[in-house]
Structure 1
Amino acid sequence: MKIWRIGLINNIWGVLTALLFLIICGEAIILTRQLSLYLSLDKIARIEQAAPILAKPRLSYRRIADDAVVFSQHDEVDRTKEKMIREKENFIFADLERMKLSVFQEGILMKEVSVQGKGKEGTFFETPNGLYKVRSKEENHFSTIGHVWMPWSIHFYGNYFIHGWPSYRDGTPVAETFSGGCIRISSRDAKEVFRFARRGMPVLIQSGSILSENAHATSTYFQRVDRTRMQERSPLLSGGAALAVDFDTGEILFAKNKTTPYPIASITKLMTGLVAIETINRFRHLTVSGKDSTFPDAPTSLEGETFQSQDFLYPLLLGSRNDVAELYRRTAGGFVETMNQKARGIGMTNTYFADASGASVENVADAEDLFRLLQYIARYKQPVFAVSGVSKKTIRSLSSKKSYIWENTTWPFDDGIFLGGHAGLTSTGKETIAGVLRVRFGEQDERKIAIIVLDSFDRIDDVRALIAYLEEEFVYGTVFTQKGIFPTEIRTGASLFHALPKWR
Structure 2
Amino acid sequence: MFHPVRGSIFLIILLALALSVGIIYVSAPHILYSEEIANVEKQIIPKTETLAPYVGKAVVINLNTMMVELKDGTSTVETFPIVSKGKPGSYYETPGGNYENDYKEINHFSSIGHVYMPFSVHVFGNFFIHGIPYYPDGTKVSSTYSGGCIRLTDENAELVYNFIEKGNPIIITQNSGSDFEKQNDNSNTINSMEMTRYMSATVSLEFLTQDNEIYFNDKATTRRKLLYNLLTLNDDAVSKSYARSLGTDLFIKRMNEKAKSIGLNNTLFIGVDVETETTDADLVRFNEYIKDYKSYLVTRSTE
Mark the structure with the bigger radius of gyration. 1
Shorter-chain TM-score bucket reads 0.3 to 0.5
Structure with larger RCO (C-alpha < 8 A, sep 6+): 2
Hey, which of these two has a bigger chunk of strand by percent?
1
TM-score by length of 1: 0.30
TM-score by length of 2: 0.47
